[in-house]
């Protein structure tokens, strides 16, 4: 049986990768961090699957990664772990660098030492392009605008170095923004769908946002996971941009969500400087030609389908909340 080891398995993309690898017949080992509160909700639907095994560890702790790689010797290692919130990286820069950058070296070094034939892929980020204008592809120069992006760039070059120095099968998945109903609630798309559905049911009055002019390339986490699967299973390791090739502003996203719910976003949204970043990334839009041509990948979800799925899921959540509130 093929084996895969996934870090960040309790996160959004990690949980979609669990679904994908289980459906392909893999034995899936996932790394989860010890936390005082429950952090495995995204895996609830598949928790009892016999082919899923969660192990405690932390990508910032080399010994835990090294021991697990030595014991499991997985065929594939997918690194999704990170401190992934760009705004928060301005508050906790040193931790962010450890968790999102130096941690990649922990993974690579554990593989090189204990299981050199294990294939590796890390979730790299479009944030690395920063202020370089779109469209962005594998040839676009980097100009990071946060320590999160600086950390991702360190991880990106670490992967290339281990490939060149040790001939390891390791790749970068340069992911543009990735969304779904399982997206964390403090990222802007989910923050909007969650708030708009709650406002619709009278559970909330206002939504406070930061820079609504920022433009992003939003893909569904299902499609991002499919792309990662193809890259790590390709015979040659390489670096690929993953994105929809379409760009929308935060304002456009909010306008669409509120209008689908029969509301005008201008009546409910206010800006709060708290959500602005010390240095912003204005516009990101992928040119995913390389992965489409070389690996035959193309996204299943359109922008509107992604928005519809997120609204439908958050509406169910809001209805459950309302039921509980009304019965109190
Ligand atoms: O912000 C603006 C904000 O936090 C998107 C991560 O997965 O994708 C993600 O990074 C835009 C920014 O994602 C609010 O200023 C306005 O311009 O949803 P976000 P992100 O920073 O683009 C990349 C590819 C990653 O690698 C990251 O890990 O929306 N914005 N108002 C806001 N953003 C947030 N979070 N909250 C607001 O109220």
* SS percent in the chain: helix, strand, coil, step 5: 45, 15, 35
Question: Is residue 246 within 8 Å of 216, Cβ to Cβ?
Answer: no
Q: Sign (positive/negative) of CA torsion 14, 19, 23, 27?
A: positive
For ligand 1, atom 4, the nearest C-alpha belongs to 187
Q: What are phi and psi of 146, to 5 degrees?
A: -155, 165
Which ligand 1 atom sits closest to the C-alpha of 186? Answer: 35
Which atom of ligand 1 is closest in space to residue 84's alpha carbon? 28
Q: How far apart are CA 204 and CA 192, in angstroms?
A: 12
Q: How much distance in Å is there from the Cα of 84 to the middle of ligand 1?
A: 10
Structure tokens that stand for 135 in this block: 């469209």
- The whole-number average pLDDT for the span 20-32 is 98
- CB of 177 shorter than 6 A to ligand 1: yes
Cα(280) to ligand 1 centroid in Å equals 10
Q: Does 191 contact ligand 1 (Cβ within 6 A)?
A: yes
> What is the predicted pLDDT for the residue at 291?
98
Residue 268 gets which letter from DSSP?
Answer: T
| Cα-to-centroid distance, 115 and ligand 1 (Å) | 36
CB-ligand 1 contact for 81 (6 Å cutoff) = no
Q: Is 215 within 8 Å of 247 (Cβ atoms)?
A: yes
The model's pLDDT over 137-168, given as tens digits with 9 standing for 90+, comes to 999 999 999 999 999 999 999 999 999 999 99
| Distance of alpha carbon 258 from alpha carbon 266, whole angstroms | 9
Mean pLDDT of the chain: 97
Band of residue 125 on the pLDDT scale cut at 50, 70, 90: very high
Q: Which residues are catalytic?
A: 125, 127, 148
Residue nearest to atom 32 of ligand 1 (CA): 188
- Residue 84, ligand 1, Cβ within 6 A: yes
Q: What is the pTM of this model?
A: 0.98
Confidence of residue 283 (pLDDT cuts 50, 70, 90): very high
Cα 188 to ligand 1 centre (Å): 6
pLDDT band at 328 (very low <50, low <70, confident <90, very high): confident
Please work out whether the CB of residue 277 comes within 6 Å of at least one atom of ligand 1.
yes
Asked if 26 and 2 count as a contact pair (C-beta separation under 8 A), the reply is yes
The atom number, within ligand 1, closest to the CA of 152 reads 26
Rounded Cα distance between 155 and 124, Å, is 7
36 has a pLDDT exceeding 90 = no
* Cβ neighbours around 60 below 10 Å, total: 17
Mutate to test the pocket of ligand 1, among 87, 188, 286 (most ligand atoms within 8 A of CB): 188
pLDDT tens track for 306-319: 999 999 999 999 99
Q: What is the mean pLDDT of residues 19-40?
A: 95
Summarize the confidence of residues 285-299 as an average pLDDT: 98
Q: How many residues does the chain have?
A: 328
* Whether 73 contacts 115, CB under 8 Å: yes
Distance 75 CA to ligand 1 centre (A): 33
Model confidence pLDDT, tens digit, residues 84-114: 999 999 999 999 999 999 999 999 999 999 9
Please give the pLDDT value at position 38: 86
Pairing of strands 170-175, 239-242: parallel
Nearest CA to ligand 1 atom 3: 211
Q: Is 97 within 8 Å of 147 (Cβ atoms)?
A: yes
């Amino acid at each position: 049986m093929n084996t895969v080891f996934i870090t960040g398995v309790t996160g959004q993309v990690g949980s979609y990768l669990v679904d994908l690898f289980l459906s392909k017949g893999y034995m899936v080992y996932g790394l989860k961090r010890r936390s005082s509160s429950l952090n495995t909700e995204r895996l609830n639907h598949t928790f009892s699957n016999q082919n899923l095994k969660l192990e405690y560890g932390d990508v910032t702790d080399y010994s835990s990664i090294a021991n697990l790689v030595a014991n499991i010797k997985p065929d594939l290692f997918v690194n999704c772990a990170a401190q992934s919130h760009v705004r928060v990286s301005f508050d906790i820069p040193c931790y962010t660098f450890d968790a999102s950058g130096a941690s990649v070296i922990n993974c690579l070094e554990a593989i090189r030492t204990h299981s050199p034939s294990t294939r590796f892929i890390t979730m790299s980020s479009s944030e690395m392009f920063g202020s370089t204008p779109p469209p962005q592809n594998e040839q676009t120069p980097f100009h990071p605008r946060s320590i999160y992006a600086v950390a991702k760039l360190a991880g990106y070059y670490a992967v290339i170095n281990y490939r060149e120095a040790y001939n390891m099968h390791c790749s970068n998945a340069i992911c543009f923004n990735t969304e779904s109903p399982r997206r964390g609630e403090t990222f802007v798309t989910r923050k909007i769908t969650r708030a708009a559905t709650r406002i619709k049911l009278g559970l909330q009055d206002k939504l406070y946002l930061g820079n609504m002019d920022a433009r992003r390339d939003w893909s569904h986490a299902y499609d991002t996971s499919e792309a990662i699967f193809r890259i790590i299973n390709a015979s040659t390791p390489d670096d690929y941009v993953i994105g929809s090739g379409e760009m929308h502003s935060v304002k456009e996203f909010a306008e669409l969500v509120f209008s689908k719910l029969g509301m005008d976003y201008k009546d409910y949204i206010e800006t709060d400087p708290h959500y602005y970043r010390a240095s912003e990334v204005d516009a990101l839009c992928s040119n995913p030609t390389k992965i489409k041509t070389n690996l035959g990948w193309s996204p299943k979800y359109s922008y509107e389908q992604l928005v519809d799925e997120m609204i439908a899921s958050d509406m169910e959540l809001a209805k459950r909340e309302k039921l509980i509130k009304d019965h109190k």
